[in-house]
Structure 1
Amino acid sequence: MLQIDKKSPLPIYYQIESYLKQQIDDGFLQPGDLIPSEREFSETYDVSRMTVRQAIKNLVNDGYLDRQKGRGTFVATNKISMTLSGLTSFTEEIKHRGMRPYSRLLSFQTIPAPYKVSRRLSVALDTPVYEMKRLRLADEQVLALETAYIPVSLLPELTKEDATGSIYEYAEQAGLHLKNATQTLEARSAGEEEAELLTIEPGAPVLLIDQRTYLDSGDMFEYSRSLFRGDAYSFTVAMERS
């Protein structure tokens, strides 16, 4: 039971934060457990909701808690660790970890490539390209928001149904040979719309990955921008000294 010492030089929010952190570290609170609401904490320990909110915010930022809009605050599950070596799809990565991958298609349309997309794909301006916006999930947990662009000429029969699965697998079954990809990683904060889709708080940390995927012919296959939840993902980079 939490004992708050209002005469202590330690701030009350810090006492709450330390207590919850210890409960998690000692295993009394397990990944996925729902913690009491700010109101319940406030009424139980006779402290302000602003004080409780500060403690919870700090624990969310430190990766101990996961605040889900409309559901409450939960003990964070273990992060999915992905190694940035080798070209694999999200679907393949999640299956490899014994989890069930799922893509929720937000939009699928053919558009004339705007300037930025045409530059990234190395195609002429206004070239027909697919634009696919997908939420990527593992075991029903939202992990990433992805927007991908592929020249229509490479996969002329691609449908909405195909876009809910692995595009890499579909492309290879269609006779294309994927060879490599380049990635650019950038840390940033989630905007309001992004946060709502990712079921996190606005301003929560996310990792933006810009990726360009190439065919064995050297032609560009795909350009994608993916926002990964900072509280759900960690990345490992394998490096060798030459």
Structure 2
Amino acid sequence: MTVPKQIAKPPFQNLLELRTDTAKPLYQQLEDQLTQLIGDGTLPPGTTLPAERQLAERLSISRATVQRSYNALRERKLLSAQGRLGSIVQGAGPRLHSGMDRLKGFTQEMQELGRVPSSRIVERSVVNDRSIASIFGRSSHARFLKLVRIRSGDGIPMSREVAWYNLERAPDLAESDLSGSVYARLAELGLPLTRCDQTIEAAAPTAEERAIFGFDAPVPCLLIKRRSYGADGDMLEYVEGLFRGDTYTYKLTLTA
């Protein structure tokens, strides 16, 4: 049986046709054509467009032309600015709507939302911290695993997460491979998480977090603080995660 070859789609910029023999300005042509590509699904929500300078070079037009078009699309909520990383297509239903009906980690959450999860560990250390020990209800000499990670969905940075884990209860965690789901590893160690207390508040990103998310200017974000417990009620995890506010929302289902 002969398997038909799949024809690769051309890069989206090859679908753009900017004309100089018309009265319509180039920036307006670009805005209209990008709007069409977003509307017909050629550029679905979540697609990262090139930075202004890169697209200008590819189309042989000025950066100011691309900038004016991008700004108009951002005002219409069709694009979300990502600074040097480019811009992300918003389109209809641009945000990730994560349910809060049950306990789940970032990896499972992204999988349920149809995105490929990934993590980059930027700091990993065993620490003594009196403030963190107080949160866990432990002595000031207690040891914790501190883990700082950049969490991404489909390669797009979604959050910067700082977490501490109780090494008195889970000593093997200090030497474990944590490139994937920490929750899955805790379950493998016989310490599955069964409940959590979680708060969500608005927060402004730091300069470091702005660089991670690719923001040129501060964008309101969601600061999520979570205390997670095992089956015996002992606290195993405390985490503070800053989630980008331009593509991420939480939803609740309330019943009477």
TM-score, normalised to structure 2, is: 0.73
- The match for 2:185 is 170
Contact 1:29/1:75 (CA < 8 Å) preserved in 2? no
Contact 2:151/2:160 (CA < 8 Å) preserved in 1? yes
Is 1:213 aligned to 2:246, yes or no?
no
Q: Separation in 2 of the partners of 1:87 and 1:125?
A: 29
Q: Separation in 2 of the partners of 1:166 and 1:33?
A: 26
> What does 1:226-237 correspond to in 2, within 5 Å?
226-237=241-252
Q: Separation in 1 of the partners of 2:63 and 2:213?
A: 32
Which deviates further from its counterpart, 153-162 or 192-201?
Answer: 153-162
Q: Separation in 2 of the partners of 1:28 and 1:214?
A: 43
- The match for 2:205 is 190
- The match for 1:7 is none
Is 1:30 aligned to 2:30, yes or no?
no
Unaligned runs of 5+ in 1: 5-14
Is 1:200 aligned to 2:215, yes or no?
yes
Amino acid at match of 1:222: E
Which deviates further from its counterpart, 217-226 or 24-33?
Answer: 24-33
From 112, 121, 142, give the equivalent of 2:128.
Answer: 112
State the SS of the aligned residue for 1:231. Answer: coil
Per-residue CA distance 1:23-81 (angstroms, 9 max, x = gap)? 577448723263783896xx77988x7x778656645xx4x323223232342374322
Deviation, 1:100, is: 2.0
Contact 2:79/2:88 (CA < 8 Å) preserved in 1? yes
- The match for 2:15 is none
From 160, 167, 170, give the equivalent of 1:152.
Answer: 167
State the SS of the aligned residue for 2:211. Answer: helix
State the SS of the aligned residue for 1:157. Answer: helix
Question: Cα distance 1:202–1:114, how it changes in 2: closer, same or farther (>3 A)?
Answer: farther
Task: Name segments (4+ residues, structure 1) moved above 6 Å.
Answer: 18-21, 43-47, 51-54
- The match for 1:88 is 104
Q: Separation in 2 of the partners of 1:112 and 1:153?
A: 12
- The match for 2:83 is 69
Amino acid at match of 1:139: D
- Matched length: 226
- The match for 2:8 is none
Greater relative contact order, per chain length (Cα 8 Å cut-off, separation 6+): 1
Contact 2:124/2:145 (CA < 8 Å) preserved in 1? yes
Per-residue CA distance 1:89-124 (angstroms, 9 max, x = gap)? 111122233332111001100110232x22322222
State the SS of the aligned residue for 2:191. Answer: coil
Unaligned runs of 5+ in 2: 1-17
Q: Separation in 2 of the partners of 1:192 and 1:24?
A: 33
Question: Cα distance 1:141–1:22, how it changes in 2: closer, same or farther (>3 A)?
Answer: closer
Contact 1:67/1:74 (CA < 8 Å) preserved in 2? yes
Amino acid at match of 1:30: L
Contact 2:50/2:85 (CA < 8 Å) preserved in 1? no
Percent of aligned pairs with the same amino acid: 24
Alpha-carbon RMSD: 3.4
